[in-house]
Amino acid sequence: MSEKESLTLSELNGGAPPPEGAHVTVDQLDAVYAVPVEVAAVLGKATMPVSSLLKLGRGAVVELDRKVGEAIDIYVNNRLVARGEVVVVEDRLGITMTEIIKAERQGQG
């Protein structure tokens, strides 16, 4: 088996030490690669009372907690995994990841 066809669990587990003798091949990961995940890019958040929300109409502006040019949060299955920037790809919006959030930084703000 070539070097590119095998990975250690530490490579898949963000550097955590694998169990003794553990080894995973790319072929064994095929089932994992097919699992769908939800990706969400959060531009910002706002808090308001329901009464204010009900008064909103077409053209209303809701001020978010982010500044122009500030990185957006990228979540995978409701877990913060990266920060990035909004980009335009032809006629659609996209995101470019600029920073990967390591597991030990989760929950710190």
pLDDT at 2 over 50: no
To the nearest 10°, report the CA torsion of 77, 79, 83, 88.
20
For residue 58, give both structure tokens: 């077409």
Q: How does pLDDT run across 47-101, given as a tens digit for each residue?
A: 999 999 999 999 999 999 999 889 999 999 999 999 999 999 999 999 999 999 9
Report yes or no on whether pTM surpasses 0.85: no
Q: Is 98 left (phi over 0), alpha (psi -120 to 50) or beta?
A: alpha
Domains and CATH numbers, the chain: 1-35 (no CATH), 36-109 (2.30.330.10)
Confidence of residue 1 (pLDDT cuts 50, 70, 90): very low
* Cβ(46)–Cβ(65) below 8 Å: yes
